[in-house]
Amino acid sequence: MEILELKEEAINSINSVNSLVELNNARTKYLSKKGLVSSLMANMRNLSIEEKKTYGAQVNELKNTIEALIKEKEEYLNDLKVKEQLEKEAIDVTMPSYSFNEGTMHPLSMVIKELEDIFLGLGYEVATGPELECDEYCFEKLNLPKGHPARDMQDTFYLDAEMLLRSQTSPVQVREMLKEKGKPIAIICPGKTYRRDQDDATHSHQFMQCEGLVLGKDITLADLKGALLVMAKNILGEDKKIRLRPSYFPFTEPSVEVDVSCVKCGGKGCSMCKNSGWIEILGAGMVNNNVLRMCGYDPEEIQGFAFGVGIERITMLKYGIEDIRNFYMNDLRFLKQFKEAK
Ligand code: DAH
């Protein structure tokens, strides 16, 4: 094929190319080792030296022209591709948005967060323990040997003779003491607990507690009262008062039940507090010496207090919720009333 003829053909075909694939085919057709431009070179064999010079220069010029054309086209096609991509991905800011439901924090999670903030502020740490617990930690090391009548206070789900679903968060005390081996402790432990209760407005077979344990030199009942007053005021309101009444728990001696001034009448007496002005919120006491000893602590050296508060109970008092089952029904009309406390 003549040089000029080939040039014209190449220009036409490269101009009509519409994609990078086609352009690559054209590149192979004209510029590869076995391509049309190379085959023109083969004609050189039959030419004189003078002719070779001009012919060679012409073929070179043809090669440069085709290369330049292909490069130009390649840039054009690449630009086009970017432009198309940008157009495709363009965001139309005038388009109406679609609405979605914003979730709210569960009221129990909100109160747990508040408890953690309060006690972290007092220098406590947050501890955890398993919901599937052994009898030894849930009862025996808490001064409740097998057959102890006080076991009846908590009707427990047993998996076998040794394993159970924890009926209280108190076994976390045992775990912490065994871990700390005689050293001072200040922890709270919020978590799930289980009891074989018939569900009704005030009972749930699965509920939550928050345990507290402080051990150290010269810790007294006054420290317990101080910590619980801070908690009650923070969660239920600055105007709240607390009082301690003697009670019984196997893991504390002395044991107390703690009341808060009535959230409804403020202490004057109403139907909610049965005219007493007080509402019971938790159990507590000084950790029993037997418990300290069984968990590796010397009561002569270190003593302290523990408490266990029902999280549903204080959340119900805080928000005036009358049925514990509301927490677990997942009715959005109930849940949406709670916005995260800031
Ligand atoms: N575990 C007790 C319960 O579930 C509550 C409790 C009472 C916890 C006294 C304590 C405590 O740590 O000292 O009824």
CB 26 within 8 A of CB 61: no
Nearest alpha carbon, ligand 1 atom 2 = 308
Q: How far apart are the first and last CA of the chain?
A: 84
Question: Which of 138, 168, 195, 245 gets mutated to test ligand 1 (max ligand atoms within 8 A of its CB)?
Answer: 168
Task: Specify the range with the lowest mean pLDDT, choosing from 1-10, 13-22, 241-250, 284-293.
Answer: 1-10
Residues 135-188 have pLDDT tens digits of 999 999 999 999 998 888 889 999 999 999 999 999 999 999 999 999 999 999
Nearest to 260 by CA among 283, 282, 278: 278
Residues 77-87 have pLDDT tens digits of 999 999 999 99
Ligand 1 within 6 A of CB of 176: no
The pLDDT, as a whole number, for residue 102 is 79
- Does residue 240 carry a pLDDT above 60? yes
List, in order, residues 6 or more apart from 104 with CB less than 8 Å away.
335, 336, 338, 339, 340
Strand order in the sheet with 206-216: 125-126, 185-194, 206-216, 303-310, 278-287, 252-261, 242-249
- Separation CA 244–CA 260 (nearest Å): 9
Q: Chain centroid to CA 23: how far?
A: 53
Q: How far is the CA of 284 from the centre of ligand 1 (A)?
A: 6
3-state secondary structure at position 129: coil
The pLDDT, as a whole number, for residue 153 is 85
Res. 1 pLDDT band, cuts 50 70 90:
low
List, in order, residues 6 or more apart from 66 with CB less than 8 Å away.
7, 10, 14, 30, 31, 37
- Separation CA 342–CA 340 (nearest Å): 6
Residues 106-121 have pLDDT tens digits of 999 999 999 999 999 9
Mean of all residue pLDDT scores within the chain: 94
Residue 103 parent element (H or E): none
Nearest to 290 by CA among 145, 134, 176: 145
The pLDDT, as a whole number, for residue 152 is 84
- Does residue 317 carry a pLDDT above 80? yes
The pLDDT, as a whole number, for residue 342 is 43
- Does residue 340 carry a pLDDT above 70? no
Ramachandran area for residue 163 (φ above 0: left; ψ -120 to 50: alpha; else beta): beta
Cα-based distances in Å from 152 to 57, 135, 137, 148, 279: 108, 14, 17, 8, 24
Question: Between 100 and 301, where is the model more confident?
Answer: 301
- Separation CA 178–CA 103 (nearest Å): 40
Q: How far is the CA of 136 from the centre of ligand 1 (A)?
A: 16
- Separation CA 279–CA 277 (nearest Å): 7
Q: Strands 125-126 and 185-194, how do they pair?
A: parallel
Task: Specify the range with the lowest mean pLDDT, choosing from 171-185, 231-245, 327-341.
Answer: 327-341
- Separation CA 23–CA 77 (nearest Å): 9
DSSP character string of 206-273: EEEEEEEEEEETT--HHHHHHHHHHHHHHHH-TT--EEEEEEEETTEEEEEEEEEE-TTTTTS--TTT
Mean pLDDT confidence for 22-51: 90
Q: How far is the CA of 68 from the centre of ligand 1 (A)?
A: 87
The pLDDT, as a whole number, for residue 230 is 98
CB 305 within 8 A of CB 285: yes
Asked whether the bond before 246 is cis by omega within 30 degrees of 0, the reply is no
Ligand 1 within 6 A of CB of 164: no
Residues 55-73 have pLDDT tens digits of 989 999 999 999 999 999 9
Mean pLDDT confidence for 276-304: 98
Mean pLDDT confidence for 251-274: 96
Amino acid identity, position 183: K
Q: How far is the CA of 168 from the centre of ligand 1 (A)?
A: 7
Task: Specify the range with the lowest mean pLDDT, choosing from 61-65, 93-97, 249-253.
Answer: 93-97
